[in-house]
Structure 1
Amino acid sequence: MKLPPPLQAALTALRSAGGRPRLVGGSVRDWLLGLEAKDFDIEVYGMDYEAMGRALAAFGPTDVVGRSFGVVKVRIAGAEYDFSLPRRESKTGAGHRGFVVAPDSTLTEAEAAARRDFTVNAIAYDPLEDRILDFHHGVADLKKKILRHTSPAFTEDPLRVLRAFQFAARFEFTLAPETAVLCHSIRDTNAELPVERVWGEWEKWAVKSAKPSLGLTILKQTGWLQHYPEIAALDGLPQEPEWHPEGDVFVHTGHCLDALVRLDSWRKGTPATRRMLSLAVLAHDFGKAGTTKQAERRGRLRWTSPEHEAAGGPLAETFLPRIGAPLDLITFVRPLVVNHLLHHDGPAEYRDTTVRRLARKVAPATLDDLMAVMWSDHLGRPPLVSAETEKRLGFLRQAAQKLALEHAAPKPIVLGRHLIALGRKPGPDFGPALDAAFESQLDGAFADEPGGLEWLKNYLRAHPSL
Structure 2
Amino acid sequence: MLAALRGSARPRLVGGGVRDWLLGGVAKDFDIEVGGVDFERLHRLLAPFGATDVVGRSFGVIKVRSRASGAEYDFSLPRRESKTGGGHRGFAVEPDPELSDAEAAARRDFTVNAIALDPFTGELIDPHGGRRDLAARVLRHTGPAFAEDPLRVLRAFQLAARLDFTLAPETAALCRRIADTFAELPAERVWGEWEKWATKAVRPSRGLAVLEETGWLVHFPEVAALRGTPQEPEWHPEGDVFAHTQHCLDALTAQADWTAAAAATRRRLMFAVLAHDFGKPATTIRGEKRGRERWLSPGHEAAGAEPARRFLRRLGAPLELDDPVAALTVNHLAHHHGAGGPTDAAVRRLARRLAPATIDELAAVMRADADGRPPLRTPEVHAMIDALTARARALELEARAPRPILLGRHLIAAGRKPGPEFTPLLDAAFEAQLDGAFADEAGAVAWLQPHLNQRT
Q: TM-score, normalised by structure 1?
A: 0.95
Q: Structure 2 matches for 1:263-342, cutoff 5 A? A: 263-342=255-334
User: Per-residue CA shift, 1:58-112, capped at 9, x if unaligned?
Assistant: 1011112221111111110212111111111110100001111121122111111
Aligned-partner Cα distance in 2 for 1:145–1:238: 31
Letter in 2 for 1:304: L
Q: Indicate the residue corresponding to 1:6 in structure 2.
A: none
For residues 435 and 345 of structure 1, do their structure 2 counterparts lie closer, same or farther at Cα, with a shift above 3 Å needed? Answer: closer
Aligned-residue offset at 1:453? 2.2
User: Per-residue CA shift, 1:18-52, capped at 9, x if unaligned?
Assistant: 01111111111111111111112111011111111
Name the SS of the counterpart of 1:101 in structure 2.
strand
Q: 1:13 aligns with which of 1, 4, 10?
A: 4
The alignment-based identity, stated in percent, is 65
Q: Indicate the residue corresponding to 1:404 in structure 2.
A: 396
Q: 1:63 aligns with which of 48, 53, 56?
A: 53
User: Per-residue CA shift, 1:434-453, capped at 9, x if unaligned?
Assistant: 11111111111111122222
Name the SS of the counterpart of 1:61 in structure 2.
strand
Q: Structure 2 matches for 1:245-264, cutoff 5 A? A: 245-264=237-256
Q: Indicate the residue corresponding to 1:4 in structure 2.
A: none
Letter in 2 for 1:384: L
Aligned-residue offset at 1:430? 1.8
Aligned-residue offset at 1:346? 4.1
Letter in 2 for 1:21: P
Aligned-residue offset at 1:345? 4.3
For residues 241 and 442 of structure 1, do their structure 2 counterparts lie closer, same or farther at Cα, with a shift above 3 Å needed? Answer: same
Q: 2:412 aligns with which of 420, 439, 447?
A: 420
For residues 151 and 346 of structure 1, do their structure 2 counterparts lie closer, same or farther at Cα, with a shift above 3 Å needed? Answer: farther
Aligned-partner Cα distance in 1 for 2:442–2:351: 23
Q: Indicate the residue corresponding to 2:427 in structure 1.
A: 435
- 1:347/1:392 contact within 8 Å kept: no
Aligned-partner Cα distance in 2 for 1:460–1:131: 83
- 2:161/2:205 contact within 8 Å kept: yes
User: Per-residue CA shift, 1:219-240, capped at 9, x if unaligned?
Assistant: 0101001011111111121111
Q: 1:46 aligns with which of 36, 43, 46?
A: 36
Aligned-partner Cα distance in 2 for 1:345–1:385: 20
User: Per-residue CA shift, 1:127-156, capped at 9, x if unaligned?
Assistant: 122221111110110111000000100000
Q: Indicate the residue corresponding to 1:370 in structure 2.
A: 362
Q: 1:112 aligns with which of 93, 104, 111?
A: 104
Q: 1:223 aligns with which of 190, 215, 226?
A: 215
Aligned length: 454
Name the SS of the counterpart of 1:21 in structure 2.
strand
Aligned-residue offset at 1:176? 0.5
Aligned-partner Cα distance in 2 for 1:230–1:277: 17
User: Per-residue CA shift, 1:302-345, capped at 9, x if unaligned?
Assistant: 11111111111101010011011111100110011011112344
Letter in 2 for 1:45: G
Letter in 2 for 1:376: A
Q: Structure 2 matches for 1:443-454, cutoff 5 A? A: 443-454=435-446
Aligned-partner Cα distance in 2 for 1:294–1:422: 58
Alignment RMSD (CA, Å): 1.2
Aligned-partner Cα distance in 2 for 1:410–1:400: 11
Residue 72 (str. 1) matches residue 53 (str. 2): no
- 2:335/2:342 contact within 8 Å kept: no
Q: Indicate the residue corresponding to 1:354 in structure 2.
A: 346
Aligned-partner Cα distance in 2 for 1:380–1:36: 30
Letter in 2 for 1:121: N
Aligned-partner Cα distance in 1 for 2:224–2:438: 48
Aligned-partner Cα distance in 2 for 1:222–1:379: 28
User: Per-residue CA shift, 1:353-380, capped at 9, x if unaligned?
Assistant: 1110111111110001111111111111
Listed as ranges, the gaps of 5+ residues in structure 2 are none
For residues 387 and 68 of structure 1, do their structure 2 counterparts lie closer, same or farther at Cα, with a shift above 3 Å needed? Answer: closer
Name the SS of the counterpart of 1:168 in structure 2.
helix
Q: Indicate the residue corresponding to 1:196 in structure 2.
A: 188
Residue 388 (str. 1) matches residue 360 (str. 2): no
Letter in 1 for 2:340: A
Aligned-partner Cα distance in 2 for 1:22–1:430: 70
Aligned-partner Cα distance in 2 for 1:139–1:427: 73
